[in-house]
Copies of this chain bind each other. A is one copy, B any other.
């Protein structure tokens, strides 16, 4: 077989892992987004005046259950888009395919657990903290790997 096909095949396998993890993380964020709406509807509270006219009570103070889901959502926003940008660069540096699978799936897994123990089944720390730290370390590891990979290209500038 043309050896260039192997390179393209390997790149597409990494893209496949990325596409699946990015998709699953997007789905997770939509679940959290819809939860906010569902909790609000169940408790019949809203923060928007124009919605209050539709049999919901206006409450500018956020309900504790809604506030919890929103904190989980904000934590996603603080972590997931940056991870997906950093990891997009990382998978383009031809990392080992097994390493690629392990890190991408582990990240996706810890973010699902993070949301579960933050928004839905609150447990005392350190469960949530461990998930956050593991996700952060994976992202920082990819940042450092990108730095090492691209360091060569600064010599000739």
- Chain B nearest Cβ from A40, distance in angstroms: 12
* A74→B92 CA distance, assembly (Å): 29
Residue of B nearest to A79 (CB): B33
Q: Would you call A134 an interface residue if the criterion is a C-beta within 8 Å of the partner chain's C-beta atoms? A: no
* A7→B48 CA distance, assembly (Å): 48
Copies, count: 3
Q: Is the interface of A mostly helix, strand, loop or mixed?
A: helix
* A126→B10 CA distance, assembly (Å): 46
- Chain B nearest Cβ from A100, distance in angstroms: 10
Known contacts: A50-B125, A136-B30, A156-B9. The answer to whether A19 contacts B82 by CB under 8 A is no
- Chain B nearest Cβ from A152, distance in angstroms: 8
Contacts of A84 in B (CB 8 A): 82, 85
**Residue contact A51 to B125, C-beta cutoff 8 Å:** yes
Residues from 115 to 135 in A contacting B, C-beta threshold 8 Å:
122-125
Residue of B nearest to A75 (CB): B33
Choice from B12, B29, B79, B86 contacting A82 with Cβ under 8 Å: B29
Residues from 1 to 38 in A contacting B, C-beta threshold 8 Å:
9, 12-13, 15-16, 18-20, 22-23, 25-27, 29-30, 33
Residues of A within 8 A of B (CB): 9, 12-13, 15-16, 18-20, 22-23, 25-27, 29-30, 33, 47-51, 53-54, 60, 64, 67-68, 71, 73, 77-82, 84-86, 88-89, 92, 97, 101, 122-125, 136, 139-140, 143-144, 146-147, 149-151, 153-154, 156-157
